[in-house]
Amino acid sequence: MPADAPGREGPTPFARRILAAYIAVTALVLVLMMVLGVLMRLAQSEWLALDPALFYQSMTIHGVGMVGIAAVGGAAVMWYFLSHHVRLDARILLANLVLFLAGTVAILAAAFLGGFAGAWTFLFPLPASSGGAWESGAAATFLLGLLGIGVGFLLLFLDVARALIRDRGGLARALGWPQLFAGSIEPAPPPTVVASAMVTIVNIPALVAGAAIIVISLVNLIVPEFGVDALFAKNMTYFFGHTFVNATMYMTVIAVYEILPRHTGRPWKVNRVFLAAWTASTAMVLLVYPHHLMMDFVMPAWALAIGQVVSYLNGFPVLLVTGLGTLAIVHRSGIRWSATTTLMFIGMFGWMAGVIPAILDATIVVNRVMHNTMWVPGHFHFYMLLGLVPMLVAFMYHFTGLERGAPEGGAAPDRWAIGVFLFAGLGFVVTFLQSGRDGVPRRWAQHLPEWLLQDRIAAALSLLVLAAGAVMLLRVLRGALRGGAAWSAEA
């Protein structure tokens, strides 16, 4: 057993300090990435003169930074709650954070010193074909940074797999398959174990595929004679990218399963429907990525059909059992509303509503018109900004004990910040969607005069979102940096 093995009673003091570092890093990076997002919207609205090269570098960092930090925050949620059920290795938790920070330095250097601006998806052949915007060394630095971060997460999920296999008898048992398929009358695994098993099953193959395509891209950068089939590269990239991003939500939703019951006094019940939903989503998350390739007419029709059909079904099983489960345990529970529980509910709303634009975009005939418009950023900002981020912040409040002694509904700064965040955030994502509906292209540094009104509304709203987000996240950052004294005794 590792020297600092936490046992099954939750994280040790050593692990708690690492988790506090995860939370501090997540809060800080979220604010910084929001600043970059605001700068881009200000530039598009012509309220800020931003060199287009810097715009695309910022877009690259905003994308990769948000994906990475959603994964770091989600991993903190999963690790913290899972450590109450299985024995995890805190040294690997630390190694992941160190690799993440080292990779982040490389990625920042690649973009802001080397000029790399090939978007976080690093799609072949863009890294190697910059048209003089950056050298191949910058692209290689970006890819190596990404590889380092991927290796860190691979270690983390391998350790989770090890712990689930050793302490729960395998990933099938952790998913509750004996109860689901074999009529076992043993108690079903807790929801945290089920969700962690699902995330582990989907993320390890995704990370391995990501590592392979990054190494292939690196070889191509160094020896361009080794060509890459662009369609093969895109399939590998999106199998990795989509799965990894999707899994951030499935890690973060563990906070709902663990924290809401503590506020309602009712346990989260795991039944066969719950288990079936998570098993279905395990398969579908691995199959859904072709919806990113619907504009690639050379993709086999059957693959695109899978992408469309599975996109319709993918989110619903877990979404429904979690949404209905949330309503069931809250209804007439006498819950005392707080910033944490309010944020959880906003997160559930953002998750549920945020998938609707994605489902529309996953329809082949719609996708061919809408995919390169602002509609798609509208979807993922809805899903991430109003879905994942509120759940993460709720977990952070819980972990750092920020709500201790707060009145019903939360402390005044939180109430204001949450209200502004919700309404400005809603306006912000709706503006994105409206721009998409009007055919405004995405990933353009400069916009036509006809698009400026929407851009300016979005820019103003993004400033409000940033202000509200900063109030909450900087409070979390202070709480995390204060360390153990501020942590809730229960947490």
Partner 1 sequence: MPPAALPLRPAAQPAALLVPVVLFAAAALPPLAPLLQASLPLHVLVQFPLLVAAGFGAGRTAARRRGPCDVAEAIAALLLAIGCLAFWMLPRWLDAAVLDARVDALKAASLALLCGLPGGWCWGVLPAVARGVLWANGVSMAVVMGWLYLNAPERLCTTYLLDEQAVLGEGMLILGAGLALWGIVAALRGPQPGSS
Positions in the binding site for partner 1 (CB under 8 A): 89, 92, 154-155, 158-159, 161-162, 165-166, 168-173, 200-201, 204-205, 207-209, 211-212, 215-216, 219, 225-229, 232
Cα–Cα distance, 133 to 114 (Å, whole number)? 9
At closest approach, how far in Å is the CB of 268 from partner 1? 24
CB of 491 to partner 1, least distance (A): 27
Task: Give the DSSP letter of residue 112.
Answer: I
Nearest to 87 by CA among 7, 189, 207: 7
CB 136 within 8 A of CB 221: yes
The single residue listed with the structure tokens 């009712």 is 266
Comparing CB distances to partner 1, the nearer of 235 and 400 is 235
Give least dist CB 6 to partner 1, A.
16
Reference 250, options 286, 281, 276; nearest CA is 281
In the complex with partner 1, the residue whose CB is nearer, 205 or 413, is: 205
Say if CB 78 and CB 196 are below 8 A apart.
yes
Cα angle 221, 222, 227 (rounded to 5 degrees) comes to 60
- Specify the residue, 211 or 273, whose C-beta has the smaller distance to partner 1: 211
Closest CB 205 distance from partner 1, rounded Å: 6
Nearest distance in Å: CB 158, partner 1: 4
Which residue is it, tokens 């798609």? 376
- In the bound complex, what is the minimum distance in angstroms from residue 151's beta carbon to partner 1? 9
Q: How far is the CB of 165 from partner 1 (least distance, A)?
A: 5
Looking at the Cβ atoms of 96 and 264, the one nearer to partner 1 is 96
In the complex, the smallest distance separating the C-beta of residue 215 from partner 1, rounded to whole angstroms, is: 5
Rounded-to-10 torsion of CA 430, 436, 439, 443: 120
Q: Which string of DSSP letters, residue by residue, matches 339-350?
A: HHHHHHHHHHHH
Nearer to partner 1, 74 or 210 (CB): 210
HEC secondary structure over 166-196: HHHCCHHHHCCHHHHHCCCCCCCCCHHHHHH
Question: How far does Cα 351 stand from its chain's mean position?
Answer: 11
Task: Give min distance, CB of 432 to partner 1, in A.
Answer: 36
Of 89 and 414, CB closest to partner 1? 89
Q: How many CA atoms, within 13 angstroms, populate the side-chain half-sphere of residue 126?
A: 15
Residue 205 or 265 having the CB closest to partner 1: 205
The length of the chain, given as a count of residues: 491
* Two tokens, residue 55: 């715009």
| Minimum CB distance to partner 1, residue 83 (Å) | 16
169 or 265: CB nearest partner 1: 169
Q: Answer for the pair 348, 320: CB distance below 8 angstroms, yes or no.
A: no
Residue nearer to partner 1 on the CB measure, 205 or 439? 205
- The H or E element containing residue 272 is helix 272-287
Toward partner 1, which CB reaches closer, 220 or 462? 220
Three-state DSSP at 418 gives: helix
Cα-Cα-Cα-Cα dihedral sign, residues 5, 20, 164, 272: positive
Distance CA 243, CA 85 (A): 25
